[in-house]
Amino acid sequence: MKRKKILILFLVWGITFSEYSCFMEKTSPSQSSGSTGMIDADDPNIQYIGRFNLTDPKKAVFDWPGVAIRARFEGTRCSIRLRDGKNLYDVTIDDTESRVLQTDTSTVYPAATGLTDTVHTILIEKRTETFIGKGEFLGFILDDNKGLIPLDAPSDRRIEYIGNSITCGYGVEGPNASSPFTPETENAALSYAALIGRALNADYAMVAYSGKGVVRNYGDPNKTSPDPMPGLYDRTCCADSVPVWDYTGWIPQVVVINLGTNDFSTQPHPDKSVFQEAYIQLINRVQSQYSGVTIFCICGLMIGEPCAGDIKEVVNQCQENNANRQVYYIAVSTSLLTGSDRGSDWHPNVQGQQKIADVILPIIRDRMNGKRWKKCRWDDGIWLSAYWRMLSMQPAEERVCLFIRMFICLDLQNRLDIKGKRGFLVNI
């Protein structure tokens, strides 16, 4: 009976969208605006990695560090349509070395000219973090009568980082420890988070802000602050309380929490019970959004005790009492870096960030080997969330594609369901 209901549902949806039945053969470039090569931000062949506010489909708004935009285009040139004025970006064309884009009052920035008239890729990565400012990506300008073509499917490995300045890549390109921070010295693409993501062939998103702590921000004269990192976690753009981030649109298998340095780096330290309770609440919050997620809690490098001990106790408590025991502690020694490993304001430079990645990467790789990367649980309302996301998709052929994948997953779930354990290798 269940199978019959599923088949009926499939037929109804198939009839509803029958006019788009040939979309799966689509390989042609996206249509530009007239013959001008103007590509808008809502082109389906643009991939957004990280948190973007897409409420207005013609502009993608963002401010978190490390967000990225990918596309594949035809032709000899590509310009970026971007409204910003403060942030810096790494722009990479094909496999060439990235170049730095410093924004100003312009809204169009040439990214490449004089290319061979063939297919090219472009990757735009935000180097700077939230307090530098917000950006609005509007699209591209290509050669006349040229457009974007579909990218390969994004990586099925996804990592989310919740962190502070170390995660942001603060001062990573500073010449030495005594040099002051400037936006030019920051580069999220060179942080340990980005290095680990690339080493694991994983897409990654950073929810990170320099100076933020679990309950107390850097230099606060009080034991707690009104706006620590957990209070910002739900935000699509850090600077805006709404819209709240849609956790169903991008589900990581791994979340790395690297917080605590700012809580304990200056006096007064937060009370142990207050710090630990807030840390546990953050872990619970992450687990409530991403069923079955593996969490790694990091402490060290720029802070030791009592922060490290407090976090280890939290992890031990989670492993003993939490229904999802996939919570692990990673210690990074405060003696890991030498003087030559420091950039601006004593933060790790490129070499220092690589040393951090070298400590963390093997642990994540060992824990996440094999199918752990692809395991996904389709309970806890995820089916309903995927359904509502499907209804909002534009154009209609994307709705059909997601529906078909939902049907395949449901069929596999019916075949493989064993006492509520519904882990299998298909991602929506």
3-class DSSP assignment, residue 251: coil
DSSP state of 245: P
Tens-binned pLDDT, residue by residue, of the chain (428 aa): 545 445 444 544 543 444 333 333 334 455 444 468 999 999 999 999 999 999 999 999 999 999 999 999 999 999 999 999 999 999 999 989 999 999 999 999 999 999 999 999 999 999 999 999 999 999 999 999 999 999 999 999 999 999 999 999 999 999 999 999 999 999 999 999 999 999 999 999 999 999 999 999 999 999 999 999 999 999 999 999 999 999 999 999 999 999 999 999 999 999 999 999 999 999 999 999 999 999 999 998 889 999 999 999 999 999 998 777 899 999 999 999 999 999 999 999 999 999 999 999 999 999 888 546 654 444 444 444 444 444 444 455 555 555 555 554 444 444 333 333 322 233 33
Which pLDDT does position 403 carry in this prediction?
A: 54
69 phi and psi angles, rounded to 5 deg? -130, 130
68 phi and psi angles, rounded to 5 deg? -140, 155
Beta bridge pairs of residue 269: none
Nearest residue to 292 via CA among 388, 381, 187, 375: 375
Nearest residue to 250 via CA among 387, 127, 386: 386
Map out the domains of the chain as residue ranges.
Answer: 2-26+386-416, 38-149, 158-373
Nearest residue to 89 via CA among 120, 73, 114, 65: 65
Strands (E), 164-265: 203-208, 254-258
Query: What's the CATH number for 158-373?
Result: 3.40.50.1110
The token pair at 139 is: 């699209």
Strands (E), 234-368: 254-258, 294-300, 327-332
Calpha distance 280→314 (Å, rounded): 7
Return the ∠ at Cα 182 (arms to 176 and 183), rounded to 5°: 125
Assigned fold of 38-149: Jelly Rolls (2.60.120)
Q: What predicted TM-score, i.e. pTM, was given to this entire model?
A: 0.81
The token pair at 300 is: 């060290």
Return the ∠ at Cα 313 (arms to 310 and 317), rounded to 5°: 140
35 phi and psi angles, rounded to 5 deg? -120, 20
The model's pLDDT over 372-416, given as tens digits with 9 standing for 90+, comes to 665 444 444 444 444 444 444 445 555 555 555 555 444 444 433
3-class DSSP assignment, residue 403: helix
